Amino acid sequence: MIAAGLLAAWCVDAYPSPLSSSVEDESALQVHTSYGDLLGAVSEYNDEVIAFKGIPYAAPPTGPRRWRPPAPMEPWTGVRNATEFGIQCPQYNDTMTLWTTGSTQMSEDCLFMNIWVPANRKGDEKLPVYFWMHGGRFIQGSGAVVTYDGSGLAAHDVIVVTVNYRLGPLGFLAHPELSAESETNSSGNYGALDLIYALNWVKEEIAAFGGDPDSITVGGQSSGSSCSLDMMYSPLAHGLAKGIVVESGTRAPHDPMTGSLATSYRLQDQAEADGVRFMAEMNVTTLEELRNVPFDTLLIYDQEDDTTYSDTRFENSSIFFLDPPIWRPVLDGHFLPSTYGELLETGRHANVPILAGYNLDEAGAKLSPGLTLDTFRSNFTAIMGNLSSEFFSLYPAENDAQANNASNRFWQAFSRTSQWKWARDYALGGASADTFLYFWTHTPPDWTLGASHGTEMYYVFNNIPYTQPSAAWTATDYAIEKRMVQYWLNFIKDSDPNGSNLPYWPATSEDPLNMWLGDAWGPGEVADPVEMKLIWEYLKQFEQW
């Protein structure tokens, strides 16, 4: 049963406020790695945490290294200052958002990570590690975004890592000639290979920071959640992570909405054809010439969308089924060896605990502007096809307000059902590890779009009010933050969100339940059984991703 959001009694003892203590041992500011010494600094947000910023983890992917897998960097001499973030990878964005810094400074020499550690950790202590991969549709973002500054979590005896990786055409261009020059006869996943390379770097070096190389949890949101799932699917990453956090990413293999998300993929032939067109648009004929094109010229085509839904029933329903970015991972037989559905069915993936969820007002719900009744009827007639009569029987509407309410209810049930089906497929394919599913319901203050895409990140990183200092955060927001942080900390430490006197979060089973978080706390049904039956009958009509 879902409990009401009464948090005051549980939250009497607030988390330590920032700037409440100081570093006891100044030597903790310096760390020795295999590549050289690093000098960090006390976090600007919490002086119980030391931040090591702008750590290079691979050779600069510039010049002849453009569109090649990451390579080892050269060690440095002396002590490297690690007190400033490294420059972000090239991208087309100058606005500060949940996923971006607003900086216009960028360079192809951008493969940096940041590590936050407790300031007064014991010398022999090996702390669990949270390796976070940013979102941004694979075309924007960086590890320096304040939304996921690691200070708030690292103050509670974990180590947090954020990372830059190549984006847009620099990170995900495929081309027949690139595949031909590759040892694996594949191309297009350079940004994803950066992340695996960074994860290996952490595995090898994190002990120097007080971390446990055998206790790494990877996490991500939006396109970062695709990266999290790919760390599970890709054989190149097996054995590197003990658990995975997927915020807004898991969908049943049959779900056609997967095609609208950065969590989809391109087939190798399709991706290479995109690359041939891209080279022609750059007005060059050889890879050598393409490698000499300035990156700001390449970014002219950075925000192109794919044409996933052309000539399908979804073609005229773009308010729900947005085409994904062209620049996204490739099913290349190397990084991604097969389809998601086949990997789940055969168990050819890492068998690790997973914490995953969706938000109340994303994935088609709470459109702005809202639907008219006519748009509701025309879109869902096309979307549902031969099941449209059953749909309108379950979701009747006679005016615009009812149409918006019906649409929201359907997409919310659809997301929960699709995700639960994914978790069941994970288990039925042979995975013995638990999955823990959530549904986030809380709207941050001064936020007009509800519990929309990414809003849970304000709370799980223990960073309010730094992420939105002008927002009118309330005692309820801080209480919710404390509870969310503890669930995530428990999972990072123990691969199970339960404990610490929190409401019990059941692992996924044959009973269709997931955990409601935010304005209510506790397991709730995925959807009404009649809704689930309709959604499952609908999903079965489509080929698997």
Tell how strand 112-118 and strand 3-4 pair up. unpaired
CA distance 488 to 160: 12
Q: What is the pLDDT of residue 489?
A: 99
Instruction: From the candidates 187, 222, 225, 317, give the one annotated as an active-site residue.
Output: 222
Cβ neighbours, 10 Å, residue 102: 10
pLDDT tens, 129-157? 999 999 999 999 999 999 999 999 999 99
Q: How confident is the model at residue 23 (pLDDT cuts 50, 70, 90)?
A: low
pLDDT at 28: 83
| pLDDT of 20 higher than 60 | no
Among candidate residues 537, 517, 516, the one with its CA nearest the CA of residue 525: 516
Stretch 507-529: mean pLDDT, rounded? Answer: 97
Cis peptide before 90 (omega within 30 of 0): no
pLDDT band at 259 (very low <50, low <70, confident <90, very high): confident
Per-residue confidence (pLDDT) for residue 302, from 0 to 100: 85
Residue 119 φ/ψ, nearest 5 degrees? -70, -35
Assign residue 289 a region: left if phi > 0, alpha if psi is -120 to 50, beta otherwise? alpha
CA distance 253 to 263: 11
With a cut of 60, say whether residue 234 has pLDDT above it: yes
* Contact status, residue 137 vs residue 223, Cβ threshold 8 Å: yes
**How high is the pLDDT of residue 16?**
40
285-303 pLDDT, tens per residue?
A: 999 999 999 999 999 988 8
159-213 pLDDT, tens digit per residue, is 999 999 999 999 999 999 999 999 999 999 999 999 999 999 999 999 999 999 9
- Reported as type and span, the H/E element at residue 354 is strand 354-359
State which amino acid sits at residue 264.
S
Q: What is the pLDDT of residues 320-357, one digit of tens each?
A: 988 889 999 999 999 999 999 999 999 999 999 999 99
pLDDT of residue 155: 97
| Residue 514 domain-assigned (yes or no) | yes
Q: Looking at the domain assignment, is residue 11 inside a domain?
A: yes
Listing DSSP states for 162-177 in one string gives: EE----HHHHH---HH
For position 456, what pLDDT does the model report?
Answer: 97
Confidence of residue 96 (pLDDT cuts 50, 70, 90): confident
Please state, for a pLDDT cut of 70, what percent of the chain lies above it.
95
Preceding amide of 396 cis, omega within 30: no
Question: Which backbone phi and psi does 349 adopt, to 5 degrees?
Answer: -160, 170
Tell me the average pLDDT across 108-120: 98
- Residue 261's pLDDT is 79
- 488, 492, 494, 496 alpha-carbon torsion, rounded to 10°: 40
**Within a domain: 545:** no
Strand partners, 330: 266
pLDDT at 89 over 90: yes
Does a structural domain hold residue 323?
A: yes
Specify whether the CB–CB gap between 523 and 416 falls below 8 A: no
Burial of 445 (0-12, 13-18, 19+ CB in 10 A): middle
Arithmetic mean of pLDDT, 414-433: 97
- The pLDDT confidence band at residue 467, using thresholds 50, 70 and 90, is confident
The DSSP letter of residue 39 is E
Classify residue 278: in a domain, yes or no: yes
| Residues 174, 189: Cα–Cα separation, whole Å | 8
**Residue numbers of the domain that contains 465:** 3-539
Helix axes 529-539 and 400-428, enclosed angle (nearest 10): 70
- Looking at the predicted structure, is the pLDDT value of residue 18 above 60? no
pLDDT digits (tens, 9 = 90+) for 42-62: 999 999 999 999 999 999 999
Rounded to the nearest 5°, which phi and psi values hold at 368?
-135, 115
Grade residue 24 by pLDDT with cuts at 50, 70 and 90: low
Q: Which two tokens stand for residue 151?
A: 């200070």
* CATH number reported for the structural domain that contains residue 512 in this entry: 3.40.50.1820
Checking if the pLDDT of 98 tops 90, the result is no
Closest CA to 82 of 60, 107, 59, 57: 57
190-205 and 223-233 are packed helices; what angle lies between their axes, rounded to 10 degrees? Answer: 70
Kindly state the tokens that stand for 128. Answer: 């669990």
Whether 231 has a pLDDT exceeding 80, the answer reads yes
> How far is residue 250's CA from residue 127's CA, in Å, rounded to a whole number?
28
Give the DSSP letter string of 457-502. Answer: HHHHTT-TTTSSTTS---HHHHHHHHHHHHHHHHHHHHS----TTP
Burial class (CB in 10 A: 0-12, 13-18, 19+), 387: middle
Reference 454, options 275, 222, 245, 256; nearest CA is 222
Among residues 115, 125, 106, the alpha carbon closest in space to that of 38 is found at: 115
Q: Which residue has the higher pLDDT, 399 or 100?
A: 399
Instruction: Report the domain count for the chain.
Output: 1
State the chain's mean pLDDT as an integer.
Answer: 93
Would you say 257 and 319 are in contact if contact means Cβ atoms under 8 Å apart?
Answer: no
Look at residue 370 in the predicted model and tell me its pLDDT: 86
Which residues lie closer than 8 Å to 93 by C-beta, 6 or more apart?
100, 102, 140
For residue 460, the model assigns a pLDDT of: 98
pLDDT of residue 10: 43
Contact, 387 vs 534, CB < 8 A?
yes
Rounded Cα distance between 386 and 16, Å, is 56
| In-domain check, residue 235 | yes
Task: For residue 317, tell me if it sits in a domain.
Answer: yes
Segment 449-478 shows an average pLDDT of: 94
Active site includes 222?
yes
**Quick check: 7 pLDDT over 90?**
no
H/E run at residue 514: strand 513-517
Instruction: Decide if 544 is inside a domain.
Output: no
